[in-house]
Amino acid sequence: MSLLAVHDLAVSRGGLRTVEGISFALDPGQALILRGANGIGKTTLLRTIAGLQQPVAGGIVMEDDLVAYAAHADGLKAALTVAENLDFWARVFGGGSVAQALAAMDLTALAARPASALSAGQKRRLGLARLLVTGRPLWVLDEPTVSLDTASVARFAQVVRAHLGQGGAALIATHIDLAIPEAQVLDLTPFRARPGTAPARLPSGFNEAFA
């Protein structure tokens, strides 16, 4: 039984279809890396799978409450400390241990520091530590390695591999080469929506027409 199955999915941003005809499945323990040029629709695809917007065509089959989503913005409150930020998300998601997540992303020494005093890379590490406290199996990550240094990227790859080893799955949009050998790669370039060749050029519904 797949965690996530996507059939012939088309997504749109600002009323224009970006990518279409995408199908894949993710089983527990698998990772899929999305590649493609800027603007091809990686973020839109990930937001659609995370449930933040509706697909314009095709279907997404998965159970409710599986996704932990991490985007460009880390969702941190500058006035709260590192531990308080993480503790909040742990309570909201009812997930795992804050101390373990801090240790996994090498943030234990910074736990009492306000998030406003963190560097960009440290903020990003805190944003990624949030994934661990959600306790959700499917990680949907949009450019997770932005502003991370080489050591942190390696550490993050280890965290993802450990997550896969525990039966989790990950869907990652990235441009760099993450050291995750078991990951498959899906290049979105062939799925770019082209005017004229699409099966139906009329908007498929009210939402697409006025999105």
- Specify the residue, 37 or 79, whose C-beta has the smaller distance to another protein: 79
- Specify the residue, 2 or 53, whose C-beta has the smaller distance to another protein: 53
Q: Which residues bind another protein (CB under 8 A)?
A: 47, 50-54, 65, 67-69, 71-77, 79-80, 84, 88-89, 91-94, 130, 211
Contact 123, 148 (CB under 8 A): no
- Nearest residue to 101 (alpha-carbon basis) of 126, 136, 78, 81: 126
The SS3 of residue 73 is coil
Taking the complex as a whole, the smallest distance from the CB of residue 44 to another protein amounts, in Å, to: 10
> Residue 24's beta-bridge partner residues?
6
- Specify the residue, 55 or 161, whose C-beta has the smaller distance to another protein: 55
Q: CA–CA separation, 25 vs 41, rounded Å?
A: 19
Q: CA–CA separation, 62 vs 52, rounded Å?
A: 15
- Specify the residue, 91 or 175, whose C-beta has the smaller distance to another protein: 91
Taking the complex as a whole, the smallest distance from the CB of residue 140 to another protein amounts, in Å, to: 9
Residue with tokens 């090498």: 106
Taking the complex as a whole, the smallest distance from the CB of residue 122 to another protein amounts, in Å, to: 15
Taking the complex as a whole, the smallest distance from the CB of residue 100 to another protein amounts, in Å, to: 19
Q: CA–CA separation, 209 vs 136, rounded Å?
A: 34
Question: What interhelical angle do 82-93 and 120-134 show, nearest 10?
Answer: 30
Taking the complex as a whole, the smallest distance from the CB of residue 3 to another protein amounts, in Å, to: 15
Q: CA–CA separation, 194 vs 158, rounded Å?
A: 38
- Specify the residue, 132 or 161, whose C-beta has the smaller distance to another protein: 132
